[in-house]
Copies of this chain bind each other. A is one copy, B any other.
Amino acid sequence: MIRRGRRARSAEAPTRKVDYHNLRNPFPPMNAFTEDRIEALHQASLTVLEDIGIKVLLPEARKLFAQGGARVEDEMVFIGRDMVEAAIASAPKSILMKAAAPERDLTLELGRLVFQPGAGAPHATDLVRGRRPGTIRDFREMVQITQAFDVLHMVPPLVEAQDVPVELRHYAMTEAELTLSDKVPFLYSRGTPQVRDGFQMIRDFRGLSDAEFQAQPWCYTIINTNSPRVIDMPMAQGLIDFARAGQMSIVTPFTLMGAMAPVTVAGAMTLSHAEALAAITLTQLTKPGAPVCYGTFTSNVDMKSGAPAFGTPEHFTASLVAGQLARRLGLPWRCAGGSAANINDAQAANETQFALWGCLMAGATVVIHSAGWLEGGLTVSFEKIITDLEVLQMVAELCAGTPASDADIALDALREVQPSGHFFGATHTMERYQTQFYEPLVGDWSNFGTWTERGEVDANHRAIGIWQEIVENGTAPAHDPDRIAGLSEFIARRTQEGGAAPES
């Protein structure tokens, strides 16, 4: 569908059509620091890599760093400024991500805007079934919801399918992503055997040769460094495997100020930037020109309890600094929303939207956790996906721009309607009213009396019907039945072989 409005329209009524897929960020970028302080921060990050070093647990990765000229002492790697600058130069500035159909392809470059719902949560929650450990059913349903809204552009690892054994989980998740969606799919980096399985499933399901698959990125992974200053085994392996196969890594140090990063925005971003540059360097040492996305996820903690916080002023400012650094590099980059609230209340809505505006004004290319994320990422809420989607759709409307022709200025209508009159029946209005305004997804604009008569249903409870309809009646995209059968056969065979356990 193009977009979803709350009400069904009659067959005759013209439909409002707005392109929610190809978004360009219309918001002027905001700087938190002066350009010379950004340069100082960048240089400090290079000093971290060159003098203080980063611990790299995977021998193969240390070997690649050493071959590239880094000094390696035991597990510590010291990466020279020249190596980092060479990697920044060879990393692509524009990346075409391939989906099942060209209209779902995504160009990632500075100035573009891509949304992902909340991801990586161990729990799922909704108002019908309650909060529970995530299951493959939850994952499949959330893929359906992601598929149903044009303003969500990539499929992320929404919730963990904890009811599927770890050595088989990647089959179930990838099958769901491929069959229930035609958008760009995600693969976890949990060791080469799982990654190889994933590449094979996507290659065959898309009907590609090895060469065709490797020529362009058809999927992506997310790489979290282990802050401070560690790249662990599966993350390093993922960077290498994805770069080698021409697939995309999104690098995201998770640097909470005061916990795994310095208590200041400037210090936390120095660490985040250093770690991101180390990971980017590893991709370019593996294969110059390999697609890689710069990223950050920097917020603060409650200094009394250590609890992480999101959608705070510090989170917002860190996003702005990351945007300035990304523009310094010229690379597409990922930023993150989020909320620490435990339910989808006013706090949850406010934190998520506040964090979103930080990402938007930072000029983020990809905004992850932009819908549904609760409890600092421990839960994705079905209803919150829907209520947050309202905001994303409204942002997409702003991306479309607003006409300002003489006909829009409407001097004729202003002449036509008398003082104290109204414009409901004006010719200018009649010609436009059916398609002029954004129609809300879950927002209810009825007056208090009507709303009371209808049972005083809040946004959260109105959202239930919206996700249920998608889950129950949603149709999967039309995929080639032979490829679906092939995918099933592959999974059956690999399952019989014992699958592939995650590596750590």
Contacts and interface: CB of A to CB of B under 8 A. Distances in A.
A348 B307 CA distance: 27
B270 A409 contact: yes
A44 B28 CA distance: 28
A262 B414 contact: yes
Interface residues of A, number: 123
Interface string A279-319: 00000000000000000000010111111110011101100
Contact of A345 (B258, B262, B346, B423): B346
Contacts of A442: 347
A352 to B, nearest CB: 9
Nearest to A378: B448
Given A259-B423, A303-B437, A408-B264, A350 B349 contact: yes
Interface in A335-378: 340-351, 353-354, 357, 361, 375, 378
Contacts of A459: 341, 345-348
24 contacts: A52-B414, A76-B419, A131-B448, A258-B429, A262-B413, A262-B426, A263-B423, A264-B409, A265-B408, A266-B404, A267-B428, A303-B433, A303-B436, A306-B424, A309-B437, A314-B436, A317-B398, A342-B451, A342-B456, A345-B346, A346-B349, A346-B384, A346-B458, A350-B387
Interface of A: 7, 26-30, 32-34, 37, 40-41, 44, 47-48, 52, 54-55, 76, 131, 226, 228-230, 257-267, 270-271, 274, 300, 302-309, 312-314, 316-317, 340-351, 353-354, 357, 361, 375, 378-379, 384, 387-388, 390-391, 394, 397-398, 401-406, 408-411, 413-415, 417-424, 426, 428-429, 432-434, 436-438, 440, 442-448, 451-452, 456, 458-460
Given A263-B423, A266-B403, A342-B456, 16 more contacts: A28-B361, A131-B448, A226-B419, A267-B414, A267-B428, A303-B436, A305-B445, A309-B440, A309-B445, A313-B397, A313-B398, A316-B394, A340-B445, A342-B448, A346-B348, A378-B447
